[in-house]
């Protein structure tokens, strides 16, 4: 079967890393959510200050529902911050807000990996949705087994998207730390706390990329096994 077979063992490393990543981001975010930044700025105020200092006056900062739902939307040029981050003065909130500001700067400067990732969004969404369905149909209907190959091909775009996401996220965090230090929004040990939060968040993207790569490898092994039968 597609979802329960010996190839499932390939996913174990990704599952373990995902669990560890979720633990790290939850614990780091909680720890530094309880520490107020010396600047006293909320996440929204920190993002606004960093944007203004880089001439991005037209980028808006708005609250959005959900926990850790923070993201930058290049289509509308809006930094969406979860309500906790938007209004909190904690180190976690300032770090997350700076990270999203890093994405806004990537967009403004034409950072190539971000442009590449944006161009992959439509095919990645199609691949992650239609790919597994085509694979499933191809497995259960051997007479049209070419659907299996088509599904793997489609899913590969979703995998590429996850891989391209890595340098985008790492660079945004790097920019965030530089912005916070250059803008004097965080000082001394505060920077170390922000780095801990951002590194933990980055690990979740690594886990997602590993899961996607191993799932693709699993699909390929299943397809080869069927062709050998």
Catalytic residues: 100
Non-local (6+) Cβ contacts of 36 within 8 A are 89, 90, 91
Both tokens assigned to 194: 């922000």
Instruction: List all residues 6 or more positions away from 214 whose beta carbon is below 8 Å from its beta carbon.
Output: 10, 11, 13, 14
CB within 8 Å of 161: residues ≥ 6 apart = 117, 120, 121, 123, 124, 127
d(CA 62, CA 70): 10
Range 52-60, long-range pairs (CB < 8 A, 24+ positions): 53/179, 53/183, 54/105, 54/108, 54/179, 56/104, 56/105, 56/108, 59/104, 59/108
């Amino acid at each position: 079967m597609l979802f329960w077979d010996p190839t499932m063992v390939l996913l174990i490393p990704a599952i373990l890393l995902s669990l560890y990543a979720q633990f790290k981001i939850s614990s780091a975010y909680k720890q530094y959510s309880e520490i107020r930044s010396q600047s006293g700025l909320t996440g929204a105020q920190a993002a606004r200050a960093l944007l203004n200092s880089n001439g991005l006056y037209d980028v808006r900062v708005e609250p959005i529902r959900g926990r850790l739902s923070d993201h930058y939307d290049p289509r509308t040029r809006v930094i969406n911050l979860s309500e906790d981050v938007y209004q909190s003065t904690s180190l976690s909130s300032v770090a997350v807000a700076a990270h999203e500001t890093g994405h806004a700067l990537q967009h403004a400067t034409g950072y190539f990996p971000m442009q590449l990732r944006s161009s992959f969004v439509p095919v990645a969404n199609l691949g992650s949705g239609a790919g597994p369905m085509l694979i499933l149909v191809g497995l259960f209907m051997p007479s049209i087994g070419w659907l299996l190959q088509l599904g793997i091909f489609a899913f590969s775009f979703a995998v590429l998207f996850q891989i391209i996401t890595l340098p985008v996220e790492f660079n945004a965090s790097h920019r965030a730390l530089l912005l916070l230090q250059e803008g004097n929004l965080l000082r001394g040990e505060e920077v170390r706390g922000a780095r801990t939060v951002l590194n933990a968040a980055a690990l979740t993207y690594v886990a997602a990329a590993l899961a996607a790569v191993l799932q693709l490898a699993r699909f390929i092994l299943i397809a080869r096994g069927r062709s050998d039968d």
